[in-house]
Each structure stands twice: as C-alpha cells, then as structure tokens.
Amino acid sequence: MKFVRNSKIFYMYCLALTVLFLVSACGAGANGTLSQTAGDVQAGSNADTAQAGGQEEAPASFTIFRMESSNTTIPPEDTPVGKKLQELTNVNISIEYLVGTDVRQKASLMIAGGDYPDLILPADASGDFLAAGAFVNLSEWIEGSENLKNNYTDVEMNLMKASSDDGGIYWLPCGGKANEDRLYPAAGYYLNMDLLKENDYPVVTSFEQWQDLVIDYVKKHPDYNGQTTIGFTLPTEGWRASGLQYGGSRFLAGYPNDGVTVVDQETLEMKLIMDQDFEKDFFRMINRMWNEGAADKEMFMQTNDQYNQKISSGRVVSLYDQRSMFIDALNALGDAKLYDRMLVAWPAVLDGVDTERYRGPRNFSAGSGLGITTSCKDPERLFEFLDTVASEEVQKLLYWGVEGEDYTMDGGKMTRGADQWANALSTDYKNKQGLEKFNTLFWFKGALETFSTGEPVDPTKTQEYADLRYQDYEKEFLGHYNVSTFCDLFNPSYDAYYEPGWAIRQKIPTDNPGKVAIETALEITREWAPKMAQGTPDAFDGIWDAYVAELDKLPLGEYLDLANKMILETADIYKN
C-alpha cells in the first residue's frame, strides 16, 4: 500500500514539473524579458520613493557593463575611491566586465538577449547597439545638464551628433577626448636595450635598418638564458592579430592610425590597408625574418598569454605592438630587473617616406562611449548621476584619488608627497585604492585639459611625473640620445582635422554588408599571413598575388565608400 501512495505522489510531481517547464518556456518566448536584474528593480522602486522623500533621497542602483576585461580581482566600486564616488553621487553602481576578449561575440549575445544592463561602455560594438535600438537619445538631457553641457566644445558636440543618422547623441564619448602619450609612445617597432647598446645606441628610423639590426643580433646571440633567442614575434590570437593584419604596416608608409584603412593626409581619400604595397613590404619583412631564422616559430599559433610570457622571459629581441597591450609583460621584465631586455619603440619607415605619424593626431573620437540602455528603469536618474560624475569635484576624485590619502591640498594646489607618488605608481595600490580605475570609464575630462583651479587634470601628463616614473636605467638610456622622454624619439602629435578611421569603423554596425566584407578580409589576411611568412623569398611574390586575388573577390568598395563619406563629413565639422 505504501508503495502505491508514494508512486502516486511521484506521478503528480512529474506532471507538475512538466506543466512548469511548459509554462516557463512559452512565457519566456512571449515576453522575452522575464528576468530582470535586481538593480533594475531596485532602481525603479527607489526612484518612486525619491520623489516623495525630497532631500533624504534613497541611493539608486545601476548596473554597468564595460566591454573590456578587468586586470584586477578587486571590484573598483568596493575601493575607497569607489565608495567615495557612490557617496558623492548617492548612487550605487556595480560594474561587470567582459570575460575574455571577444567584444563582437559578447555584443551579439547581449543584443540577441535584448536585456541590457543600465549603462554600457560598448568599445568597438557601439554601432551594433545603436542599430539594435539599445540606446536612449541623450541630446535633450545634455542641453539641460549642469556639467556635461559645458564639457564639450562645439566641434565635439557636432561630432557626437554626426555619429548617428538622426542627429541624436546616444553615448557620451569615453576615451575619445583629445589625448596624447607623454612618456611612452603608443606603438612602434620595438628593439631591446641590449641590442641598442651593442650597436652604440643608433637612432632607428629606417625599416631596413631595423630588420638588419635584429637579424645581426640574433646571429650573434642565438641563445638567451639557455633558451633560443626570439628575434621577432607578433601577437596573432583572434582580435590581437590586428598588428599583423593591418596595424604594423600603416606607420611604415607614414600614415597615422586609421583602423583597417589609411587616409590620405591631403585629399582624405581612404584606402584599405590589406592589399597595399606597404602591407606587402611588412609581410616581406616577416618572410625575411622567418627565412633568416630570426622569427618566432610559434608566432602564428600562440595565445596572447604565451606571447606575453615570451616577452617577460626576456627572450624577445623585437616586435611590433601597441604598448598598452603588452604592458604587463614589460612590467614583469622590470620586476625581474631584466633591464637590458626592456623593449624600446622606434618610428621605422620605408625608404622614401618623409614624415612618420606614429603618435598621430590628438583627436576627439565620438565613435564609442557610455550609453544608457532602453532596459534602464530610470534613465533620467542615471543621466543625473553621469552629470554629477562630470563635475570637477568628482573628476578630481577619479583622477587624483581621495584627498588626504592620495594627494594633499597645499595652499589651494594639489600636491603629492614622495609616499603618495610611490603609491600612485604602484599597480597594487591603485587596484586596492581604486585610483585611476574610474577615470577611463567616466572619461569626461580630457587628460590634457586643466581644471578651473588651474591644475592639470591628469597629473601623469606632467614633467614632474616623468621624472618620478622613469627609472634610473631609463634615464641613462635616454641620456645616450639626449632626449627627456621616449616620445621625443618620435614626431610630436598634432591637432586632428578629421575623425580617425577606427572610430568610423566602430560606428558602422557589424551586419552592414561592407563591414562583413572587411571582417572577412581580416580573416583571410590572418589565414594567409603564415603562408606569406613561411614561403621561400623567391615564392613570396607569387603567394602575395594569390592572397590579393582572394581579397579582390570581396565587395570591399562598399565599406570604403561609406567610411570615406563619413570621414569627409567629420572633416567639414572641423573646418567650420
């Protein structure tokens, strides 16, 4: 008897489960947004009470998604600076980061799900979110804002409006305020210090010369620390392959960074990099390195981690990359005191190129930025929060840290003592304190600007900082060249007169046929690069021709026409 009763309960239970499954499956299909983040709900209810409560406003909560991977395990919002930020603004924020590196995949998944966090910093996927209607138009709120309105010049405001079809502003540009590197150039052809020392500190400006130096050095020093010396390597994993696909070659021909394209500096005519002659010269260099035995044999099959590991071991003699991408490896070299293996960037150009533009223009890019999503329950409150963050008080907190801890006010001027500078230079401390963890998220003040009190916004752009930041071996090295910073080895930055090509690429949605063709072309380049590298020098021309024939099958003109039109529009904004 007992068994029968139990089995009955069991059947009923199964039936109930089935019904539950069905209901939930159909329900989700119909509404699409059954699940909401706790933050949304909280924000909504808080907003209601806020209106009734007056002065004693309850803190609102917002979720933020940042399309960048985090380099610390400490959530910035839990640090002293983060807490202070939330106290000043009366808003609780929780920041989620990209896991891994595939921005495009994450963006597609978020859009397909249709359930967004309140605020997104979309990196390269801004055009996708805009095309999917994920962002709220901010134009009117900016007009009526207290701080943000005054934060942008007329040109900047017009560029922001030009980034959408309907003239609305859908994001607050972040990381796009005019900026330049003062201590280390952003990109270049790197050589290690030991090689430069052996050759009596030559000034490297020619691409040929750069290659010869590397090949000679590898022949003289086949081993380092018991392992083979790696003459030349490049990151080739997924999105990190950009240096290989197009990033490395454009500077050789004297162009600035315009993404997958180069823009003629006079006529503003746009060309795709992947089939240009200077790209051929770049691949011929890799081919030469490979055949001379200087190239990294694992180059085309390494992960980004392996790449960084090789640099940290000191085995790598030369490479092309953007400094911020392998900064961790350089720091590891510094920590291990392998100073002679430290890599220095050089502005190598091809024969016949007069001007190099490695450091490029100080440009303002409206290509991407913080956007409030349609999923946000109280977008006005969120915008209010952003407006408060744009105030000088909060921006000082984000750039300088907590007063009394990270800096002291001395006679109305911001100063840092030796201890405070030491802290400000320590990655560990910055992670714990939250120092400089928010200024690139809520990047409303340009690093080169000054506050109304007269101090520079970013204390790391001053000569005082350079003197502190450079270590003795770096100062000694610079002494051999009679320059005061590594940037002085390059041509200076200049004022922008059009919006950079990479920002244009961000603004075009992924499913645009022209952009699909570009992405396909990039895949083809990544596929053909090893073939071009590993062929014999005699076979190189043939492989190149086959590769270009492969590219020619794609409708690449469509993208170029569209992007060129957008560049010319932004150039007009600068002119007026």
484 binds other proteins (CB under 8 A): no
Q: Which of 473, 484, 530, 558 is the binder for other proteins (CB under 8 A)?
A: 530
Question: Least distance to other proteins from the beta carbon of 283, Å?
Answer: 13
Judged by CB under 8 A, the stretch of 69-77, 101-109, 358-366, 420-428 that binds other proteins is 101-109
Judged by CB under 8 A, the stretch of 87-95, 100-108, 394-402, 465-473 that binds other proteins is 100-108
Q: Report the SS3 class of residue 158.
A: helix
105 binds other proteins (CB under 8 A): yes
114 binds other proteins (CB under 8 A): yes
Q: Which of 523, 541, 545, 572 is the binder for other proteins (CB under 8 A)?
A: 523
Q: Rounded CA gap, 530 and 189, in Å?
A: 20
Chain positions 117 to 146 lying near other proteins, rule: CB under 8 A, are 128, 131-134
Question: Least distance to other proteins from the beta carbon of 540, Å?
Answer: 17
The 316-322 sheet, strands edge to edge: 230-233, 316-322, 187-192, 343-346
Q: Rounded CA gap, 502 and 496, in Å?
A: 14
φ, ψ for residue 11, nearest 5 deg: -65, -45
Q: Which of 302, 292, 258, 299 is nearest to 276 (CA)?
A: 258
Question: Least distance to other proteins from the beta carbon of 17, Å?
Answer: 8
Structure tokens at 565: 């039109």
Q: Which residues contact 438 (CB under 8 A, 6 or more apart)?
A: 76, 81, 82, 85, 398
Q: Which of 22, 203, 336, 549 is the binder for other proteins (CB under 8 A)?
A: 22
Q: Which of 347, 276, 367, 348 is nearest to 493 (CA)?
A: 347
The amino acid at 96 = E
Q: Rounded CA gap, 389 and 151, in Å?
A: 12
Nearer to other proteins, 24 or 463 (CB): 24
47 binds other proteins (CB under 8 A): no
Question: Least distance to other proteins from the beta carbon of 129, Å?
Answer: 8
Question: Least distance to other proteins from the beta carbon of 353, Å?
Answer: 28
350 binds other proteins (CB under 8 A): no
Q: Rounded CA gap, 317 and 348, in Å?
A: 16
Nearer to other proteins, 114 or 537 (CB): 114
Q: Which of 83, 104, 149, 271 is the binder for other proteins (CB under 8 A)?
A: 104
Q: Which of 109, 409, 425, 549 is the binder for other proteins (CB under 8 A)?
A: 109
Using the structure block, give the residue that is written with the tokens 């900016």: 142
Question: Least distance to other proteins from the beta carbon of 229, Å?
Answer: 11
Q: Report the SS3 class of residue 143.
A: helix
CA of residue 325 relative to chain centroid, distance: 9
Question: Binding string to other proteins for residues 420 to 459, with x set by CB under 8 A, is what?
Answer: ----------------------------------------
Residues paired with residue 61 on neighbouring β-strands, in sequence order: 92
Nearer to other proteins, 529 or 563 (CB): 529
Question: Least distance to other proteins from the beta carbon of 535, Å?
Answer: 13
Other C-beta atoms within 10 Å of 201: how many? 13
The amino acid at 283 = F
Q: Which of 88, 516, 548, 571 is the binder for other proteins (CB under 8 A)?
A: 516
Q: Which residues contact 367 (CB under 8 A, 6 or more apart)?
A: 126, 163, 173, 176, 499, 500, 502, 503, 504, 505, 506, 507
Judged by CB under 8 A, the stretch of 80-88, 92-100, 164-172, 522-530 that binds other proteins is 522-530
193 binds other proteins (CB under 8 A): no
Parallel, antiparallel, or unpaired: how do β-strands 270-272 and 60-66 relate? unpaired
Q: Which residues contact 191 (CB under 8 A, 6 or more apart)?
A: 204, 210, 213, 214, 317, 318, 343, 344, 346
Other C-beta atoms within 10 Å of 90: how many? 15
Judged by CB under 8 A, the stretch of 97-105, 251-259, 319-327, 416-424 that binds other proteins is 97-105
The DSSP secondary structure of 539-575, one letter per residue, reads THHHHHHHHHHHHHTS--HHHHHHHHHHHHHHHHHHH
100 binds other proteins (CB under 8 A): no
168 binds other proteins (CB under 8 A): no
Q: Which of 50, 74, 111, 468 is the binder for other proteins (CB under 8 A)?
A: 111
Chain positions 298 to 337 lying near other proteins, rule: CB under 8 A, are 298, 300-303, 306
Question: Least distance to other proteins from the beta carbon of 26, Å?
Answer: 8
Nearer to other proteins, 380 or 523 (CB): 523
Q: Which of 48, 208, 527, 572 is the binder for other proteins (CB under 8 A)?
A: 527
35 binds other proteins (CB under 8 A): no
Question: Binding string to other proteins for residues 199 to 238, with x set by CB under 8 A, is what?
Answer: ----------------------------xx-------xx-
Question: Least distance to other proteins from the beta carbon of 134, Å?
Answer: 6
The amino acid at 405 = E
Whether the Cβ atoms of residue 425 and residue 468 lie closer than 8 Å to each other: yes
C-alpha distance across the termini of the chain, in Å: 91
Question: Least distance to other proteins from the beta carbon of 545, Å?
Answer: 17
- In degrees, rounded to 5, the angle at the alpha carbon of residue 255 between the alpha carbons of residues 360 and 69 is 55
Q: In angstroms, how far apart are the furthest CA atoms of the chain? A: 98
Q: Which of 199, 227, 152, 177 is nearest to 367 (CA)?
A: 177
Binding site for other proteins (CB under 8 A): 8, 11, 14-15, 18, 21-22, 25, 102, 104-105, 108-109, 111-112, 114, 128, 131-134, 227-228, 236-237, 241, 244, 296-298, 300-303, 306, 509-511, 515-516, 519-520, 523, 526-527, 529-530, 553
